[in-house]
Amino acid sequence: MSTDIKLTFKDFKSDQEVRWCAGCGDHAILNSVQKAMAAMNIPKEKFAVIAGIGCSSRFPYYMNTYGFHTIHGRGAAIASGVKTANPDLSVWVINGDGDGLAIGGNHFIHLNRRNIDLNLLLFNNEIYGLTKGQYSPTTKEGTKTKTSPYGTIEHPFNPGELVLGAEGKYFARSIDVNMKLTQEILLNAQNHKGTSIVEILQNCVIFSNGVHSFYTDKETKLDRQLILHHGEKMIFGKNKDKGIVLDGLKLKVVTIGENGVSEDDILTHDAHEESPFLHWMLIHMKGPDFPIALGVIREVKASTYEQKMEDQIAEVKANSSIKNVNDLLHSGSTWTV
């Protein structure tokens, strides 16, 4: 790739009118993605943006890159084919929580298992928006929606835990309105070789407005968000005086300066640790007892599917006497008449 590519976010805007609702969190995410891509030093033609079906999945139409708006749930599977066929591309998958985790749940877990080098943005608004307000696999139990007028009786899952359960190597979390954090994560995800899952807590102004407001309210957000950076202490709070410690086999929120707790006692974030257990606990944290963990939570190096595919092909080619189809047709047992 060229080392000096001057692109701005405007180069990534397509000529199509953006049709999301006013106030939809997707607008902020689109801006974050366009800005981040401009900063990646990758030629524009090397980007392929793939989506399934849902509000968020209109995304490719708004990007002036190669793009493919596919069918419901299959974005990850189609992108797996794109990257395996053409490893030179920077491949981005746009998924909603319904698209990626319900109808596309099977592809989602197998993508993580294979560790194909692509980036999947999971817009999580805990609702089906495009079909107008049905509960999704991430909707909190008891939530009233059009298909659960008396409250859901299903337990949701947490996307990050699904990633870990599927042997995933990379998981980050951001919030639609925090464009700075989102861009920082996207750049990091691009540099990570392997499947990078980025969950973005996204607000649907129509069907689940305020679903993440416990964490995003301006007044209280600093006390309810823990922004993680590899190698840094897990400290948060308005006064930067709260931290996370390990108490036996559980995490605990402590206040620095109280009960003899000093900064040294606070856990240091190690995103590169292969063992998923501390990452699991961080992903699992939720209010009111805990802040929500944001940033790159897990980033573990591992070989990628498409690289192993290329390596295996090179090795088998080098050791085979069959160089073309004519050789193949004459291989094995033949006879001449």
Phi-psi region of 278 (alpha: psi -120 to 50; beta: other; left: phi over 0): alpha
Beta bridge partners of 253: 244
By CB under 8 A, is residue 333 in contact with other proteins? Answer: yes
Shortest distance, CB of residue 154 to other proteins, whole angstroms? Answer: 23
Q: Which DSSP letter does residue 99 get?
A: I
Residues 95-124, one symbol each (x = binds other proteins by CB under 8 A, - = not), give -----------xx-xx--------------
List binders of other proteins among 137-176 (CB under 8 A): none
Quote the crossing angle between the two packed helices 75-85 and 305-318, to the nearest 10°.
Answer: 40
DSSP 283-310: HH--TTTSPEEEEEEEE-----HHHHHH
List binders of other proteins among 202-261 (CB under 8 A): none
Task: Using the minimum distance from each CB to other proteins, give the nearer residue, 69 or 230.
Answer: 69
Kindly report the three-state secondary structure assignment for every residue of 100-138: HHHHCHHHHHHHHHHCCCCEEEEEECCCECCCCCECCCC
By CB under 8 A, is residue 36 in contact with other proteins? Answer: no
Any idea what the Cα angle at residue 162 is, between residues 161 and 165, rounded to 5°? 85
By CB under 8 A, is residue 65 in contact with other proteins? Answer: yes
Beta strands 47-51 and 90-96, pairing class:
parallel
Residue from the set 32, 34, 56, 70 that interacts with other proteins by CB under 8 A: 70
Task: Using the minimum distance from each CB to other proteins, give the nearer residue, 43 or 257.
Answer: 43
Task: Using the minimum distance from each CB to other proteins, give the nearer residue, 69 or 286.
Answer: 69
Q: Name the segment binding other proteins (CB under 8 A); options: 78-86, 171-179, 242-250, 263-271.
A: 78-86
Smallest CA-to-CA distance from 199 within 67, 100, 271 is with: 100
Residue from the set 8, 23, 86, 263 that interacts with other proteins by CB under 8 A: 86
Tell me the two tokens of residue 79. 């992108």
Q: Name the segment binding other proteins (CB under 8 A); options: 133-141, 209-217, 234-242, 309-317.
A: 309-317
Task: Using the minimum distance from each CB to other proteins, give the nearer residue, 66 or 280.
Answer: 66
Task: Using the minimum distance from each CB to other proteins, give the nearer residue, 15 or 264.
Answer: 15
Task: Using the minimum distance from each CB to other proteins, give the nearer residue, 20 or 236.
Answer: 20
Containing 76, the helix (H) or strand (E) segment is: helix 75-85
Phi-psi region of 15 (alpha: psi -120 to 50; beta: other; left: phi over 0): alpha
Instruction: Note the residues at the interface with other proteins (CB under 8 A).
Output: 14, 16, 43-46, 48, 50, 53, 60-61, 63-71, 74, 77-86, 88-89, 106-107, 109-110, 309, 312-313, 316-317, 320, 322-326, 328-330, 332-337
